[in-house]
Amino acid sequence: MPTILVVDYSPTIRRMVKASLGGLTTSFAEAASGLEAIEVLAVRSIDAVVLDLNMPDMHGLDVLRFVRSHGQYGSVPVLVLTTRGDVTSRGAALEAGASAYMTKPFSAPSLAATVKELLVNVDARTAR
């Protein structure tokens, strides 16, 4: 069963993301900050990450760059889920290695479809 790391400062958003993905056969890990996300990645096997950009201790782009710069995490799909809908933020996230980009507020079906697609790609890479 794949594990999704949900990284957002807001416990409400983390609950909403998990509820939106409840139809997928997954387990969840949570982090309320960028540093906490890195700690979780160090101790758990994570198959995908849903990552906010705006966090108090470490910007989401820095977390994303960390993930991409470490071999064991380099292929983990990362969906950036943020309030920042501007072209610059989207471009910076994709350039830093985001697998997908969505803005808040989000629809549950859209989020679930995007994460399901990311997980299918993980399964395809694992099967090789």
The tens digit of pLDDT for each residue in 68-109 reads: 998 888 889 999 999 999 999 999 999 999 999 999 999 999
Tell me the average pLDDT of the chain: 92
What Å distances lie between residue 39 and 29, 31, 106, 110, CA to CA?
11, 9, 27, 29
pTM above 0.85, yes or no: yes
Total of domains in the chain? 1
For CA atoms 40, 42, 44, 46, give the dihedral sign: positive
pLDDT digits (tens, 9 = 90+) for 2-36: 999 999 999 999 999 999 999 999 999 999 999 99
Count CB neighbours of 42 within 10 A: 10
Question: pLDDT band at residue 56, thresholds of 50, 70 and 90?
Answer: confident
Identify the CATH number of the domain in which residue 22 sits: 3.40.50.2300
Range of the domain at 52: 3-122
Q: Does the residue 127 lie in any domain?
A: no
Q: What is the mean pLDDT of residues 47-62?
A: 94
